């Protein structure tokens, strides 16, 4: 943890959730007491169909919401896309861009991720830019080089210290596997240094660096106490209120 940075724990519900699941967010809000509010920022990124309703249900809770992706375009003939201004209109504060599932399943390039992040910034959203290596890339000793390249190609022009970077080793997402604390420390230190080259050291020192990839209550304390880890991007565990809160408490 970077002691001068207030951590962020963001839940990515992925393609899960219908109106009945708003009860999960209500339970999270109930457990988000004054002490936790002071120590940790929370955000929930539901599917787009729930974003407005979920945001409205969390008014007064100080839990933010976000989109799981956003278009690089503000409007137009882009069937099925959701723009950054639309996310803002629905009440979002964040937009996840470049998640490994978007990069892998939809073939998104670094340039596309950067364009989306810039669209998010222009609309007033905070982009959560995701980076991470595959199992083959790590075993080949290329993990650091891959992530540095992703950062150079994906960090939006004009980014400030409000930018969020999420390191999510692709091989750890949804598998139950996690890198060692030493591996996470090495990667997050490298990310901070690369951001220093991109944004300047003073700005990079305040950027929140999240870890994502099979984060759960049983490993959260260890992961959240690694240097340069400023919170978590949580997948499956964010669909269970108590698990999500336990991870948040690990940051506190």
CB atoms within 10 A of CB 21: 16
Q: Is the dihedral of CA 196, 199, 203, 206 positive or negative?
A: negative
- pTM, to two decimals: 0.97
**What average pLDDT is seen over the chain?**
96
Would residue 99 show up in a list of annotated catalytic residues for this protein? Answer: yes
134 assigned to some structural domain = no
| pLDDT score for 119 | 98
As a whole number, mean pLDDT of residues 146-158 equals: 97
1 assigned to some structural domain = no
Catalytic residue among 99, 118, 137, 194: 99
81 assigned to some structural domain = yes
For 114, list phi and psi in degrees, rounded to 5. Answer: -60, -45
Domain count, the chain: 1
Catalytic residue among 133, 168, 188, 194: 168
Residue 52: partners with Cβ closer than 8 Å, 6 or more residues away: 90, 91
Would residue 168 show up in a list of annotated catalytic residues for this protein? Answer: yes
Model confidence at 177, in pLDDT bands (50, 70, 90)? confident
CATH code, 34:
3.20.20.70
Query: Which neighbouring-strand residues pair with 44?
Result: 11, 65
Task: Pick the range with the lowest mean pLDDT from 170-174, 202-206, 209-213, 225-229.
Answer: 170-174
Range of the domain at 64: 8-128+143-179+189-210+231-238
| pLDDT score for 113 | 98
194 assigned to some structural domain = yes
170 assigned to some structural domain = yes
252 assigned to some structural domain = no
**Cα 41 to Cα 30: distance, rounded to the nearest angstrom:** 15
For 168, list phi and psi in degrees, rounded to 5. Answer: -135, 95
72 assigned to some structural domain = yes
| pLDDT score for 4 | 87
CA distances from 133 to 26, 141, 144, 164 (A): 34, 10, 8, 18
As a whole number, mean pLDDT of residues 7-25 equals: 98
14 assigned to some structural domain = yes
DSSP string, the chain: --TTS--EEEEE--S---GGGHHHHHHHHHH--HHHHHH-EEEEE--GGGHHHHHHHTTTTTEEEEES---SSSSSS-TT---HHHHHHTT--EEEES-HHHHHHS---HHHHHHHHHHHHHHTPEEEEEE---HHHHHTT-HHHHHHHHHHHHSPTT--TT-EEEE--GGGTTTS----HHHHHHHHHHHHHHHHHHH-HHHHTTSEEEEESS--HHHHHHHHTSTT--EEEESGGGGSHHHHHHHHHHH-
Q: Please write the tens of the pLDDT for every residue from 53-79.
A: 999 999 999 999 999 999 999 999 999
């Amino acid at each position: 943890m970077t002691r001068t940075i207030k951590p962020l724990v963001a839940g990515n519900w992925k393609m899960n959730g219908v109106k009945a699941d708003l009860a999960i967010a209500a339970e999270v809000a109930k457990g988000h007491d004054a002490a936790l509010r002071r120590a940790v920022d929370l955000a929930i990124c539901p599917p787009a169909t729930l974003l407005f309703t979920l945001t409205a249900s969390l008014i007064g809770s100080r839990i933010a919401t976000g989109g799981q992706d956003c278009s690089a375009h503000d409007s137009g003939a882009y069937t099925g896309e959701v723009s950054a201004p639309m996310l803002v209109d629905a009440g979002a504060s964040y937009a996840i861009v470049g998640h490994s599932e978007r990069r892998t399943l939809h073939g998104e390039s670094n340039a596309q991720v950067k364009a989306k992040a810039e669209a998010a910034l222009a609309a007033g959203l905070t982009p959560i830019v995701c980076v991470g290596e595959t199992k083959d890339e790590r075993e080949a000793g290329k993990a650091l080089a891959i992530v540095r390249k992703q950062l150079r190609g994906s960090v939006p022009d004009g980014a400030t210290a409000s930018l969020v970077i999420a390191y999510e080793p692709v091989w750890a997402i949804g598998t139950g596997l996690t890198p060692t604390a030493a591996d996470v420390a090495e990667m997050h230190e490298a990310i901070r240094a690369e951001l220093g080259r991109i944004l300047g050291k003073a700005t990079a020192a305040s950027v929140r660096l999240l870890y994502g990839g099979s984060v759960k209550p049983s490993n959260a304390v260890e992961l959240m106490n690694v240097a340069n880890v400023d919170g978590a991007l949580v997948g499956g565990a964010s669909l269970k209120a108590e698990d999500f809160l336990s991870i948040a408490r690990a940051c506190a």
